[in-house]
Amino acid sequence: MKKSLSLILTLVLCLTFVAVCFADEASPTTAPEKLEKVEKYLYGTEQPGAMIARIDNLETDVYGHRTSDAILTRIDNLYDNMEGVPSDGSPSFAAKLNAVEWQFADRLSSGPAKTRVEDAEMTLNGKTSMEKSLITRVDNLVAEAFPTGSLVAAPAVLPKDSLIKVKFMQTLSSKDNSKGDVIDFIVADNVYVGETLVLPKGSKGYGTIKKIVQARSFGRDARIDLNFSNVVAVDGSLVPVYVGELAKQQAKTVAGAAGASIGGMILFGPIGVIGGAFVSGQSVVIPAGTYTYVQVANDCNINGIIQTPGMTTPTDAKIPVAATTTTKLATDTTTPVAADSVIATTTVGPETVVNN
């Protein structure tokens, strides 16, 4: 009896742990969670004060005025416009800002969105437009970044095991780094599902050093084990990644004889460093600029973007006065890839296209 009870308790604890993990990774569902996420996205931190005052401040910054909708509707609209799926089917604020940075920078920044907008305005125009709403400002940036067309939202499914080339942006060393240190890496090539951009070149990646084994006796060199966890999609969502057998094989194929095996990965580049990694005095070093491959852990729904020619980007059409009632894009703009299909990734210049 005691043994059975112990097994039941263990199972309950395991299920509770799994549920907590999934809850941490899931999108926000309650109004306070959505409000907090929007504030952290725009300002970097959750804002103090009563909920009504916080909503008023957000709407004033985002739309240029407050709306008169119910509290829950106001929060939903703010979240959908910033990081979710706007009711008119257009790209979210996050997708537009990411697209602007993708157009002009080698990597997408990860600071507060309000600061990123100001930085983009200074880069393009030498001044900021503080008197305008954030939605108007980012739409103006899109119009400047894509003067011959506009961005259209296009939902897509990035299939499990899709391959992503990634680039290390800082040097890692078994001598200087420690377990738990953050890995600074980015997506090295654009990734498309059909015609839909889902992972822009320069998108930030998240990961840590899993383990470091220092050099030991009998000529055994040091080792660095890395844990790649996520890369950021164009809509701001997180795509879980890992180094699996497909990623190892692709890296080995691309690197050829110049590849270096470090902690179960195959590394290659940069120019002048054979294999992208080397052993110096029995210490392993992975230089900045080194490449490898990761693969997608599971099917991911991403609100991607397509650039369409001959259209202008409206600057005020998506600012709600009351609840937004415009029509979503037709579902035939979706570019799905069946989960059970055979995945072929084709590298064409600086991009990867995922096809059936």
What token pair was written down for 5?
Answer: 């009870």
What's the confidence (pLDDT) of residue 164? Answer: 97
- Please state, rounded to an integer, the average pLDDT across all residues of the chain: 80
Q: Looking at the DSSP assignment, which residues form a beta bridge with residue 283?
A: 280
φ and ψ of 8, to 5 deg: -65, -45
What pLDDT, on the 0 to 100 scale, is given for residue 354?
A: 65
Separation between Cα atoms, residue 92 and residue 191, nearest integer Å: 19
Least confidently predicted of 121-135, 212-226, 339-353: 339-353
High-pLDDT (> 90) share of the chain, %? 58
Q: For tokens 């199972």, what's the residue?
A: 11
Reported as a single tens digit per residue, the pLDDT across 202-211 is 999 999 999 8
Indicate the pLDDT class of residue 276, thresholds 50, 70 and 90. Answer: confident
- Cβ atoms 154, 335 nearer than 8 A: yes
Which one, of 184, 204, 233, 37, lies nearest residue 108 by Cα? 204
| Integer angstrom CA distances of residue 97 from 58, 121, 200 | 17, 11, 12
- Rounded to whole angstroms, the Cα distance separating 242 from 147 reads 37
* pLDDT of amino acid 183: 95
> Over 70: is that where the pLDDT of 277 sits?
yes
Q: Which of 30-34, 96-100, 276-280 is the least confident region? A: 276-280
Report which of 58, 52, 120 is spatially closest to residue 83, judged by C-alpha positions: 58
Q: Is 58's pLDDT higher than 50? A: yes
Mean pLDDT over 215-236 rounds to 81
Selected from 1.20.1050.10, 3.40.605.10, 2.40.128.260, 3.30.310.40, the CATH number assigned to the domain covering 157-296 reads 2.40.128.260
Please list the alpha-helical segments (H only) found in 165-264. Answer: 245-255
pLDDT of residue 355: 57
pLDDT confidence of residue 212: 83
Query: What are the structural domain ranges in the chain?
Result: 157-296
CB atoms within 10 A of CB 337: 18
Query: What tens digit of pLDDT does each residue of 116-132 get?
Result: 999 999 999 999 999 99
